[in-house]
Amino acid sequence: MTSTARLALVLVTAAAASHPPLEAQVTVGVQAGVRYSSTLVHDSIVTPFDVRPALAPVAAITVAGPRQRSWTPTVTLDFSMSNLERHDADGTTVTLGQVTTIAFTVGLTRPLPGGFSAGIGVGGLKYLPSDDAGIFRSGSGAIAGVGALTLGHAFPIGGQRLTLAARYDIHGFTTPALEDEGFRGLRAVHRVALTLRSDWDAGR
């Protein structure tokens, strides 16, 4: 072994010995709840109507890394499945099939006083319709950019770490079929989810 290699080995060994073992590096959270989505399409053929997803169940997995100062990096994969509904001006509602949304976001979370936490995230969202019909007859189009805000409050129940969280996100919506019909630009879609999350440490 050369003197340079021996010196490098000594330095690496000394650095490792000077740092205590790291505590849990990764926290995994599984959450479930319910989501409201705003209107995807508003039009008026004879009378006005709106097309939007019905109130839907939502499930998500969040992976949080080690805290960097007061911020914790997070990655979230979010699933939601709902009936797509047409709401006419006379109060009539017609189901147009099912649609699933998948959103992937990366962001930062930080603790707040009183057991609260706040998070921000950005990523992409994709619509997966059950049928290629109606506004999805030519497909669902490209992945939409999405921005998210989360406010949570942690509380222990039976030794578990549970967090009640409210998540708001916004994305732009269009499809090739809507563009073919003359709809120009993206319509802002707002979604609000209320979930309960359980967290545990996944690595040490």
Domain residue limits, the chain: 22-203
Interval 61-112: pLDDT, tens: 999 988 777 899 999 999 999 998 887 777 787 778 899 999 999 999 999 9
pLDDT higher than threshold 70 for residue 145: yes
Per-residue confidence band for 45, with pLDDT thresholds at 50, 70 and 90: low
Residue (of 71, 156, 158, 164) closest to 111 by Cα position: 71
Write out the E strands in 48-131: 48-53, 56-64, 72-88, 93-111, 116-129
Distance CA 23, CA 14 (A): 20
Residue (of 28, 56, 38) closest to 194 by Cα position: 56
Any bridge partners for residue 26, and if so which? 203
State the chain's mean pLDDT as an integer. Answer: 82
Interval 123-136: pLDDT, tens: 999 999 988 878 88
Q: Helix %, strand %, coil % for the chain, to 5?
A: 15, 65, 25
CATH fold of 22-203 = Porin (2.40.160)
**Which residue type occupies 26?**
V
Residue (of 176, 164, 170, 174) closest to 191 by Cα position: 170
Both tokens of 37, joined, read 């989505």
Q: Is the Cβ–Cβ distance between 150 and 166 less than 8 Å?
A: yes
pLDDT higher than threshold 80 for residue 54: yes
Give the angle 45-48-51 at the CA atoms, nearest 5°: 95
Q: How many helices (H) and strands (E) does the chain have?
A: 2, 10
Q: Is the Cβ–Cβ distance between 153 and 115 less than 8 Å?
A: yes
- The answer to pTM > 0.85 is no
